[in-house]
Structure 1
Amino acid sequence: MSNLIITALYIYPIKSLSGIEVAKAKVESRGFQNDRRFMLVDENNQFITQRKYAKMALLQPELTTTEIIVRHKTEAVSPLKISLDEPNTSPEMVTIWDDTCPAKPVSTEADEWFSAVLGMKCRLMYMHDDSIRQADQRYAINETDKVSFADGYPYLMISEESLAQLNEKLNESIDMRRFRPSIVFKGGKAHEEDEIRRVFCNGIEMFGVKPCARCVMTTVNPDTSEKGKEPLKTLSSYRQVGNKILFGENFIATSEGELKVGYLLKVLERKEPDLA
Structure 2
Amino acid sequence: MLRLSALYRYPLKSGKGEVLQSAELDKLGLTGDRRWMLVDEASGRFLTQRAEARMSQLSALWNADGGLTLATSGQGSIDIPLPADDAELRGVTIWRDTLRVPDAGDEAARWVSEFLGKSTRLVQMPLDRARTTQSGFGHDDDQVAFADGYPLLLIGDASLQDLSGKVGRSLEMLRFRPNLVIEGSAAYAEDGWKRIRVGDIEFRVVKPCSRCIMTTVDPQTGERSADREPFATLQKHRATVDGAMFGQNLVNDGNGRLEVGMPVEILE
Shorter-chain TM-score range: over 0.9
* Paired position in structure 2 for 1:148: 145
Q: Aligned equivalents of 2:21 and 2:84: distance in 1?
A: 25
For 2:198, the equivalent position in structure 1 comes to: 201
Give percent identity, aligned residues only: 38
Instruction: Tell whether the 8 Å contact from 2:83 to 2:124 is kept in structure 1 after alignment.
Output: no
Alignment of 1:13 with 2:40, yes or no, is no
Q: Which deviates more, 7-16 or 165-174?
A: 165-174
Question: Aligned partners of 2:133, 2:201: CA distance in 1, in Å?
Answer: 19
CA contact (8 A) 1:102 1:127 kept: no
Task: Give, in whole Å, the separation in 1 of the partners of 2:248 and 2:255.
Answer: 19
Q: Which deviations, in whole Å up to 9, do the C-alpha atoms of 1:227-253 show, x marking residues without a partner?
A: 120001112221111261000000111
Q: Is the CA contact 1:157–1:182 (under 8 Å) kept in the aligned structure 2?
A: yes
1:103 aligns with 2:93: no
Tell me the residue number matched to 1:183.
180
Q: In 1, distance between residues paired with 2:13 and 2:214?
A: 12
Match of 1:214 in 2: 211
Equivalent residue pairs, number:
264
TM-superposed CA distance for 1:86, in Å, is: 4.6
- Paired position in structure 2 for 1:23: 21
Whole-angstrom CA distance in 1 between matches of 2:84 and 2:244: 37
CA–CA distance in structure 2, aligned partners of residues 64 and 243 of structure 1: 37
Partner Cα distance (1:86, 1:18) in 2: 25
1:46-85 paired onto structure 2 within 5 Å: 46-66=45-65, 67-72=67-72, 75-84=73-82
Deviations 1:86-121 (A, max 9, x none): 564132321100111221001211100010011111
Which stretch of structure 1 is more off in the superposition, 130-139 or 85-94? 85-94
2:45 corresponds to 1:32: no
Give the distance between the partners of 1:59 and 1:218, measured in 2 at CA.
17
SS at match of 1:163: helix
Match of 2:126 in 1: 128
Q: Does the Cα contact within 8 Å between 2:4 and 2:198 map onto a contact in 1?
A: no
Gaps of at least 5 residues in structure 2 are none
Q: What SS does structure 2 have at the residue aligned with 1:138?
A: coil
Task: Note closer, same or farther for the CA distance 1:262–1:134 as it changes in structure 2 (3 Å cut).
Answer: same
SS in 1 for 2:196: strand
Indicate whether 1:238 and 2:233 are aligned. no
Once residues 85 and 223 of structure 2 are traced to their aligned partners in structure 1, the CA distance between those partners, rounded to angstroms, is 34
Given that 1:87 and 1:106 are in contact with CA atoms closer than 8 Å, whether structure 2 keeps it comes out as no
1:273 aligned residue: none
Give a deviation string over 1:165-186, Cα, whole Å, max 9, x none.
0111223221100000010011
Name the SS of the counterpart of 2:233 in structure 1. helix
Question: Residue by residue, what CA displacement relative to the aligned partner does 1:126-178 show, whole Å, maximum 9, x if unpaired?
Answer: 1123213111121022x221001000000000010000001112232211000
SS of match in other structure, 1:79: strand
Structure 1 CA distance, aligned partners of 2:212 and 2:198? 30
Amino acid at match of 2:81: S
Q: For 2:88, which of 87, 90, 94 is the aligned residue?
A: 90
- Higher mean C-alpha deviation, range 87-96 or range 104-113: 87-96
- C-alpha separation in 1, matches of 2:167 and 2:93: 36
Once the two structures are TM-superposed, the CA of residue 85 in structure 1 deviates from its matched residue by 5.5
Determine the C-alpha separation between the residues in 2 that align with 1:86 and 1:40. Answer: 18
TM-score if structure 1 supplies the norm length?
0.92
Given that residues 12 and 20 in structure 1 are in contact (C-alpha distance below 8 angstroms), is that contact kept between their aligned partners in structure 2? yes
2:150 aligned with 1:173, yes or no? no
Distance 1:243 1:210, change over 3 A: closer
5+ residue gaps, structure 1? 270-276
Q: Could you tell me how far apart the structure 2 residues matched to 1:227 and 1:107 are? A: 32
Q: Give the counterpart letter for 1:114 in structure 2.
A: V
What is the Cα deviation at residue 191 of structure 1? 0.8
